[in-house]
C-alpha cells in the first residue's frame, strides 16, 4: 500500500488530468453567440448546438488507475482516518467526474452533473428571485460601465499579484467560461480575451481570484497533504466559491457580482427542465444585460450538445449556496482565518479541531483579516489605490 | 355527573339519541363502545371470519359481505367505506349519524360535510402537516419544555451535502455516540426511523431519505426543504400513553408498554421502530415514571387544547433504563392502535373508557366530570395485551388453511381451537389467547408484511426486559403464523394488473 502522501499526490495528478471545467467549454461558443443573437433580434427561438474539443487523455485508463488505488480507511477515528477517508472520497469524485466527461454531449450528462453538484434548494432559488427582482439589481447593471479592456484588467491584476509577493502570472485567453479564472497547474490567472471590464469589477476579481482562490491554494500547498489542501477536498466548490463571493461582498466594489451569482443559480434551476432560449429570456427579463445572461445560460448548459434538451451543468449554484453558508458561518461566530488553512470546507474545520490535527498557519490572508482597520476599506479601499496606481 | 362506568352508561342511555357508527377496515377495529352506547353500530370494508362472530352481537354493515375473497378495488381504508354509494344509501336511513373513524382524511371530511354526517375524529389539519410531523412536534416539545431524546433538527440538504457528509457523521457520532437515530419527519411504518451503527449505515440511511420504496417501486422524494432529526439512541423500552382533550381538562389512561420490532411478529427487513402491539398486564410502572408520563400528557394536552384540538391523542416515549427518565418520541393526533383492546380492558376493569369521552366531546354533549376522579379511575392497573402477527415471508402469499377466529390454547407448538370469540371478555384465563381482527378465509392473499390478524391475551406478553416476548408468547406468535400455511404466490403484481380484484389494494 502506498503512503498517504503518495496517494494524495496521485489523486492530485489525476484530478488535474481530468480538467472537467475546461473540457466543458464549447469550441463554437463565439459562433453560436452570433447565431443566437441574430435569431433573438429577429424574434426567433434558437437553442445553440455546442461542440467540444475531443479528449485526448485516456480517461478510461485514468479511471482504472484510480479504482485500483488501494486506500484503506482505518476504523479508529484519528488523523489518519480523516485524511484517508477524504482521499477516498476525492478518488470517488474524480471517477464520477470522468463518468460525466464520458457522457459529455449526451442525455446522460445531466444525471452525472446532478450527482456531482446537486441542485439548488428552493430557499436558494427564492433568494435569487428576490435579489434579482429588486430595483437595486437592475440599477447596478445600468450604473456600472465596463470601460476597461482585457489588457487593462490583466495589467492591474498582475500588479496586484506582484504586490502580494505571488509568482502567479496573468494570461489573456480566449476559451474560458468566465471573465477571469485560474489555471492552477501553470499558476496562471486567466483573463478572457475581448472582454470589457469595469474598474469595480477588476477590484472584485482581485478579491475573488487572488485573495480567495490563490491565497487558499498557496496556503494549502504548505500543509501536510498538499493535494487535498491545495486542490480541494472531494465535493462541490461550495466553500471555495462561497468564500470568494462573500469576500467580494465585504468590499462591495462591484454590486453586480452577487446578482450574477443569483442569475447563475436561476440558470441552473431552470436548466433542469428548460431549453437554453427560455433561460436566457428569463434572465433578460430580470434586467440582466445580454452578454451576462448569455454567459450565465451558457455555463448552465455547457456539457450538452443540444441545448434545447433538459439538463445541464449544475456547478454554478454553489456560488450563491456557498455565499449564504459562509454568511451563516460568520454570523454563528465562525473564524474566517480557519478557512485559509487551504481549500477545505466549513465542515472540515470542526473535525480538524476535534481530532486535534495540527496544520500550518496560513501565510496568505486577505488584507481585511491581517489589518482589520475598517476605515481603510470604507471609503478608500487600500489596494484599490495600489492596483490602479499606474493608470492614474 | 359521570363518575364511573355505570353512570357513563346511564348518561349515554338517557342523553345520546343520535345513531353512532364505528368505521373501520374490519368491524373489530371500531369495537368497544357497544357496551356503553345503546345506538352503536359498525361500518366495515372487509368481511372477515371474526366479523361473522361480531355481527351476532352488534349490527355490522360490511361493504364486502358476500364478495367471498374478492375485494373492492379501492384503497383499504375508511375513506373508501364512507365514499361508497352503498354506504350512503345505508346511512340515509339514519338522521345525522356520528361516525367514529381511526384517522380522518380530506376526502372523508368532504364526504361527511356533503352528506351531513358528523365525523368523530381530529381534523386533517392537525395530522401530517402539524402534530404528526416529528420535526414540528419536536419544536413544540422544546417550546413546552418537555424532553425529547437529546438531539437536533438538521436540514436534510446539509446531511446530503457532499462537502460535509463525512465530517457530519463524525461530529454526530462524537456528540451522541453510536447507534445514532435519524428520523424522517413524516414517514412511518418502519421506513422513517433509522438506527445507525456505522458510517456505511449512515450512507444508506441518507440515500433512503430521498429515495424510498413503496410497494417495490423506488420513489425519489424532494428533500430540498426537508428537515430531519438526529438524536441519541436511548436504550430502554418504549411505553406510550393515551390522552384525551376534553372541555373539563386532560384525561389519560395509565402508560402502557408497546411491542416494538419483535422479529416473531414483524419481518425486521421492513425497517426499524415497527409497532407490534401493547401489553397492559406488564405495564406496572413506578410512581415516578407514571408521574412523568402524566405530567407530559397534561402539558401536551393543554397545548393541543389551545390549538382547538379535542379528543384522543397518543404520546410515544422511550424510557431510559439507566436514568428512568421518559423521553417523548412522537405524537399521534388520532385514534390509536391500542383501540379497541384498551377499551375492552378498561371495561373489564370497570373503568370509564377514554373513547367515550372522545365521542362525547365531538357530540358536544352536556356532561360533567371530575377530571381528577376520572383520571384516577382510568389510571388503575389493567390486564390485557395484544400483538399483531404479520406475513413474515417477505413475499406475496396465499393462506392454505382456514384459521377460525376465536379462542385458542397452545398444544405443543400448535394452536388448538377452544371456542368462538372475538373480544377480551371471551378469554377465561392466561393460558388462552384470541385470534381476531380481520382473520381471512383460506386462499386469502397477503402482501409482504401484511397483518394476519390480532392476538389478544390476558397475561403478559413481554419478558423482563420489556423488549422481547416471553417464550410462551413467542410460540403463540409463531404457531399462529404457521397455522395460516402461507404459500408463495407467483407473479402476484402481474396478475393484479390484469385482474384488479385479484388482490386487495393498499
The reply to whether B145 falls in a domain is no
Inter-chain residue contact A89 with B171, CB threshold 8 Å: no
Digit-coded pLDDT (tens) for A294-348 = 999 999 999 999 999 999 999 999 999 999 999 999 999 999 999 999 999 999 9
Residue A390: pLDDT over 60 = no
Structural domain harbouring A181: 4-387
Å from B222 to nearest chain A CA? Answer: 10
Q: What is the pLDDT of residue B500?
A: 66
The reply to whether B128 falls in a domain is no
The reply to whether A321 falls in a domain is yes
Mean pLDDT along residues A344-363:
92
Percent of chain B with pLDDT over 70: 97
Cα atoms found within 13 Å of the Cα of residue B132, Cβ hemisphere only:
20
Q: What is the pLDDT of residue B503?
A: 58
Q: Which residue of B has its CA nearest to A85?
A: B166
| Angular region, B7: left φ>0, alpha ψ -120 to 50, beta rest | alpha
The reply to whether B295 falls in a domain is yes
Best of B155, B156, B162, B164 to disrupt the A interface by mutation (most A CBs within 10 Å)?
Answer: B162
Who among A233, A345, A351 is closest to B171 (CB)? A351
Residue B502: pLDDT over 50 = yes
Q: What is the pLDDT of residue B214?
A: 63
Place of cell 392537525: B126
Q: Cα(A89)–Cα(A42) distance, rounded to whole angstroms? A: 49
Residue A391: pLDDT over 60 = no
Percent of chain B with pLDDT over 90: 81
Q: What is the pLDDT of residue A378?
A: 32
Digit-coded pLDDT (tens) for B114-162 = 999 999 999 999 988 899 999 999 999 999 999 999 999 999 888 888 8
Who among B167, B174, B225 is closest to A347 (CB)? B167
The reply to whether B212 falls in a domain is yes
- CATH code: domain of residue B285: 3.30.470.20
Residue A392: pLDDT over 70 = no
The continuous run of DSSP H or E covering A169 comes out as strand A169-173
Chain B CB contacts of A85 below 8 Å: 166
**Packed helices B199-210 and B165-176: angle between N→C axes, nearest 10 degrees:** 120
Please give the model's pTM, rounded to 2 decimal places.
Answer: 0.83
Give the pLDDT band (50/70/90) at residue B14. Answer: very high
- CATH code: domain of residue B80: 3.40.50
Domain final residue pick, B359, B383, B407:
B383
Using CA atoms of A183, A186, A189, A193 in order, give the dihedral in degrees to the nearest 10: -80
User: Are B298 and B438 within one domain?
Assistant: no
Inter-chain residue contact B163 with A346, CB threshold 8 Å: yes
Q: Cα(A329)–Cα(B285) distance, rounded to whole angstroms? A: 46
Write phi, then psi, for A371 (nearest 5 degrees). Answer: -125, 90
Spatial CA neighbour of A45 closest among A309, A267, A286, A276: A276
Residue B228: pLDDT over 60 = yes
SS3 B488: strand
Who among A118, A123, A345 is closest to B164 (CB)? A345
Contacts with B384 (C-beta within 8 Å, 6 or more apart), sequence order: B280, B281, B341, B342, B344, B345, B348, B424, B456, B457, B458
The reply to whether A356 falls in a domain is yes
Digit-coded pLDDT (tens) for A267-278 = 999 999 999 999
Å from A205 to nearest chain B CA? Answer: 25
Residue B223: pLDDT over 90 = no
The reply to whether B134 falls in a domain is no
User: Are B342 and B259 within one domain?
Assistant: yes
The reply to whether B132 falls in a domain is no
The reply to whether A380 falls in a domain is yes
Strands B311-319 and B326-332, bridge-based pairing: antiparallel
Mean pLDDT along residues B273-298:
96
- B352 DSSP 8-state letter: P
User: Are B240 and B365 within one domain?
Assistant: yes
Digit-coded pLDDT (tens) for B461-494 = 999 999 999 999 999 999 999 999 999 988 877 7
Å from A341 to nearest chain B CA? Answer: 16
For chain A, the domain total comes to: 1
Mean pLDDT along residues A102-123:
94
Instruction: Say which residue, A88 or B208, is predicted with more confidence.
Output: A88
The reply to whether B342 falls in a domain is yes
Instruction: Say which residue, A33 or B498, is predicted with more confidence.
Output: A33
The reply to whether A286 falls in a domain is yes
Q: Cα(B359)–Cα(A304) distance, rounded to whole angstroms? A: 62
Strands B60-62 and B40-44, bridge-based pairing: parallel
Mean pLDDT along residues B12-32:
96
The reply to whether A392 falls in a domain is no
Q: What is the 3-state secondary structure (H, E, C) of A260-305?
A: HHHHHHHHHHHHCCCCHHHHHHHHHHCCCCHHHHHHHHHHHHCCCC
Spatial CA neighbour of B385 closest among B482, B272, B466: B466
Mean pLDDT along residues A167-172:
95
Chain A CB contacts of B160 below 8 Å: 118
Chain A CB contacts of B163 below 8 Å: 233, 235-236, 238-239, 345-347
Q: Is the dihedral of CA A213, A215, A221, A225 positive or negative?
A: negative
User: Are B197 and B283 within one domain?
Assistant: no
Q: What is the pLDDT of residue B496?
A: 72
User: Are B94 and B160 within one domain?
Assistant: no
Q: What is the pLDDT of residue A388?
A: 32
The reply to whether A176 falls in a domain is yes
Inter-chain residue contact B160 with A118, CB threshold 8 Å: yes
Residue A243: pLDDT over 80 = yes
Q: Which residue of A has its CA nearest to B223?
A: A121
User: Are B82 and B113 within one domain?
Assistant: yes
Q: Does B174 lie at the interface with A, CB-CB under 8 angstroms?
A: yes
Structural domain harbouring B366: 235-383
Q: What is the pLDDT of residue B211?
A: 74
User: Are B369 and B415 within one domain?
Assistant: no
Who among B160, B163, B170 is closest to A239 (CB)? B163
Chain B CB contacts of A96 below 8 Å: none
Q: Is the dihedral of CA B247, B248, B254, B255 positive or negative?
A: positive
Place of cell 496606481: A389
The reply to whether A334 falls in a domain is yes
Looking at the DSSP bridge assignments, the partners of residue B449 are none
Which residues 129-158 of chain B have a CB within 8 Å of chain A?
Answer: 157
Å from B493 to nearest chain A CA? Answer: 30
Å from B255 to nearest chain A CA? Answer: 41
Q: What is the pLDDT of residue A34?
A: 96
Q: Cα(A28)–Cα(A385) distance, rounded to whole angstroms? A: 39
Domain final residue pick, B383, B398, B425:
B383
Who among A93, A118, A347 is closest to B164 (CB)? A347
- A1-5, A230-234, B48-52, B342-346, range with the lowest pLDDT: A1-5
Domain final residue pick, B73, B102, B120:
B120
DSSP string, A13-38: HHHHHH-TTGGGS-TTHHHHHHHHHH
Inter-chain residue contact B164 with A354, CB threshold 8 Å: no
Q: What is the pLDDT of residue A174?
A: 86
Q: Which residue of A has its CA nearest to B222?
A: A121
Digit-coded pLDDT (tens) for A50-59 = 999 999 999 9
For chain B, the domain total comes to: 4
Q: Cα(B392)–Cα(B405) distance, rounded to whole angstroms? A: 20
Chain B CB contacts of A86 below 8 Å: 166
Could you tell me the three cell numbers for B490?
407467483
The reply to whether A281 falls in a domain is yes
Q: What is the pLDDT of residue B445?
A: 87
Inter-chain residue contact B224 with A238, CB threshold 8 Å: no
Q: What is the pLDDT of residue B407?
A: 98
User: Are B456 and B397 within one domain?
Assistant: yes
**Residues B371/B302, Cβ–Cβ less than 8 Å:** no
Chain B CB contacts of A119 below 8 Å: 224
**Mean pLDDT across chain B, nearest whole number?**
93
**Packed helices A256-271 and A135-143: angle between N→C axes, nearest 10 degrees:** 120
- CATH code: domain of residue B164: 3.30.1490.20
Who among B171, B173, B225 is closest to A350 (CB)? B171
Amino acid at each position: 500500500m502506498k503512503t498517504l502522501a503518495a496517494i494524495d499526490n496521485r489523486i492530485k495528478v489525476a484530478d488535474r488530468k481530468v480538467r472537467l471545467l475546461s473540457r466543458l467549454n464549447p469550441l463554437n461558443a463565439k459562433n453560436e453567440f452570433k447565431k443566437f443573437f441574430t435569431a433573438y433580434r429577429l424574434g426567433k427561438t434558437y437553442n445553440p448546438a455546442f461542440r467540444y474539443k475531443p479528449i485526448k487523455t485516456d480517461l478510461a485508463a485514468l479511471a482504472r488507475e484510480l479504482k485500483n488505488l488501494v486506500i484503506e480507511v482505518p476504523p479508529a477515528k484519528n488523523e489518519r482516518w480523516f485524511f484517508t477517508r477524504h482521499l477516498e472520497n476525492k478518488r470517488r469524485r474524480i471517477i464520477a467526474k470522468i463518468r460525466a466527461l464520458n457522457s459529455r454531449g449526451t442525455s446522460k450528462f445531466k444525471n452525472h452533473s446532478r450527482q456531482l453538484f446537486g441542485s439548488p434548494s428552493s430557499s436558494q432559488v427564492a433568494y435569487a428571485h428576490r435579489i434579482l427582482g429588486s430595483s437595486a439589481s437592475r440599477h447596478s447593471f445600468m450604473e456600472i460601465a465596463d470601460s476597461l479592456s482585457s489588457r487593462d484588467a490583466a495589467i492591474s491584476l498582475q500588479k496586484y499579484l506582484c504586490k502580494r509577493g505571488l509568482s502567479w502570472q496573468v494570461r489573456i485567453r480566449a476559451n474560458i467560461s468566465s471573465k477571469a479564472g485560474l489555471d492552477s497547474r501553470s499558476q496562471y490567472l486567466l483573463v478572457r480575451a475581448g472582454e470589457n471590464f469595469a474598474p469595480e469589477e477588476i477590484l472584485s476579481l482581485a478579491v475573488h481570484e487572488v485573495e480567495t482562490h490563490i491565497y487558499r491554494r498557496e496556503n494549502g500547498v504548505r500543509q501536510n497533504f498538499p493535494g487535498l489542501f491545495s486542490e480541494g477536498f472531494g465535493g462541490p466548490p461550495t466553500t471555495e466559491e462561497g468564500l470568494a463571493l462573500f469576500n467580494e461582498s465585504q468590499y462591495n466594489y462591484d454590486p453586480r457580482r452577487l446578482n450574477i451569482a443569483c442569475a447563475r443559480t436561476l440558470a441552473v434551476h431552470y436548466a433542469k427542465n428548460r431549453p437554453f432560449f427560455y433561460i436566457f429570456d428569463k434572465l433578460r427579463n430580470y434586467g440582466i444585460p445580454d452578454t451576462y445572461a448569455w454567459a450565465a445560460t451558457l455555463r448552465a448548459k455547457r456539457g450538452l450538445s443540444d441545448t434545447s434538451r433538459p439538463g445541464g451543468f449544475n456547478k454554478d449554484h454553489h456560488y450563491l449556496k456557498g455565499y449564504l453558508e459562509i454568511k451563516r458561518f460568520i454570523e454563528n461566530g465562525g473564524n474566517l482565518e480557519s478557512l485559509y488553512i487551504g481549500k477545505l470546507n466549513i465542515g472540515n474545520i470542526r473535525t480538524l479541531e476535534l481530532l486535534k490535527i495540527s496544520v500550518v498557519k496560513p501565510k496568505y490572508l486577505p488584507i481585511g483579516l491581517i489589518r482589520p482597520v475598517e476605515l481603510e476599506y470604507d471609503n478608500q479601499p487600500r489596494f484599490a489605490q495600489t492596483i490602479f496606481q499606474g493608470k492614474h | 355527573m359521570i363518575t364511573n362506568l355505570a353512570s357513563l352508561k346511564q348518561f349515554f342511555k338517557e342523553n345520546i339519541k343520535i345513531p353512532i357508527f364505528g368505521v373501520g377496515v374490519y368491524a373489530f377495529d371500531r369495537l368497544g363502545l357497544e357496551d356503553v352506547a345503546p345506538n352503536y353500530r359498525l361500518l366495515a370494508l372487509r368481511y372477515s371470519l371474526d366479523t361473522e362472530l361480531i355481527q351476532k352481537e352488534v349490527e355490522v354493515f360490511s361493504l364486502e359481505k358476500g364478495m367471498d375473497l374478492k375485494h373492492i378495488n379501492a384503497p383499504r381504508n375508511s375513506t373508501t367505506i364512507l365514499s361508497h354509494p352503498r354506504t350512503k344509501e345505508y346511512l340515509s336511513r339514519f338522521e345525522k349519524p356520528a361516525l367514529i373513524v381511526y384517522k380522518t382524511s380530506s376526502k372523508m371530511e368532504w364526504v361527511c360535510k356533503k352528506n351531513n354526517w358528523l365525523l368523530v375524529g381530529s381534523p386533517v389539519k392537525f395530522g401530517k402537516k402539524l402534530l404528526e410531523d416529528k420535526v414540528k412536534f419536536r419544536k413544540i416539545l422544546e417550546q413546552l419544555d418537555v424532553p425529547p431524546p437529546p438531539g437536533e433538527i438538521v436540514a436534510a440538504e446539509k446531511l446530503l451535502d457532499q462537502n460535509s457528509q463525512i465530517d457530519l457523521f463524525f461530529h454526530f457520532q462524537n456528540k451522541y455516540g453510536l447507534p445514532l437515530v435519524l428520523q424522517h419527519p413524516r414517514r412511518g411504518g418502519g421506513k422513517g426511523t433509522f438506527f445507525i451503527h456505522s458510517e456505511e449505515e449512515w450512507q444508506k440511511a441518507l440515500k433512503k431519505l430521498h429515495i424510498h420504496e413503496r410497494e417495490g417501486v423506488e420513489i425519489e422524494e424532494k428533500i430540498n426543504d426537508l428537515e430531519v432529526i438526529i438524536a441519541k439512541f436511548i436504550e430502554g423500552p418504549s411505553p406510550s400513553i393515551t390522552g384525551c382533550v376534553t372541555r373539563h381538562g386532560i384525561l389519560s389512561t395509565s402508560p402502557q408498554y408497546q411491542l416494538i420490532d419483535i422479529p416473531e411478529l414483524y419481518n425486521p427487513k421492513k425497517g426499524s421502530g415497527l409497532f407490534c402491539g401493547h401489553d397492559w398486564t406488564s405495564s406496572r410502572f413506578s410512581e415516578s415514571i407514571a408521574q412523568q408520563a402524566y405530567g407530559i400528557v397534561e402539558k401536551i394536552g393543554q397545548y393541543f387544547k389551545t390549538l382547538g384540538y379535542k379528543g384522543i391523542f397518543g404520546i410515544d416515549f422511550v424510557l431510559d433504563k439507566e436514568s428512568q427518565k421518559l423521553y417523548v418520541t412522537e405524537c399521534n393526533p388520532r385514534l390509536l392502535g391500542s383501540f379497541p383492546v384498551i377499551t375492552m380492558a378498561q371495561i373489564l376493569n370497570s373503568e370509564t373508557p377514554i373513547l367515550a369521552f372522545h365521542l362525547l366531546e365531538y357530540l358536544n354533549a352536556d356532561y360533567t366530570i371530575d377530571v381528577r376522579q376520572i383520571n384516577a379511575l382510568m389510571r388503575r392497573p389493567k390486564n390485557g395485551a395484544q400483538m399483531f402477527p404479520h406475513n413474515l415471508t417477505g413475499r406475496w402469499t396465499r393462506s392454505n388453511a382456514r384459521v377460525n377466529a376465536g379462542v385458542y390454547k397452545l398444544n405443543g407448538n400448535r394452536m388448538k381451537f377452544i371456542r368462538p370469540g372475538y373480544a377480551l371478555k371471551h378469554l377465561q384465563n392466561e393460558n388462552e389467547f384470541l385470534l381476531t381482527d380481520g382473520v381471512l378465509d383460506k386462499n386469502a392473499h397477503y402482501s409482504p408484511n401484511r397483518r394476519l390478524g390480532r392476538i389478544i391475551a390476558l397475561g403478559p406478553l413481554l419478558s423482563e426486559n420489556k423488549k422481547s416476548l416471553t417464550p410462551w408468547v413467542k410460540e403463540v406468535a409463531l404457531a399462529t403464523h404457521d397455522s395460516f400455511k402461507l404459500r408463495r404466490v407467483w407473479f402476484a403484481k402481474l396478475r393484479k394488473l390484469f385482474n384488479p380484484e385479484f388482490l386487495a389494494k393498499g
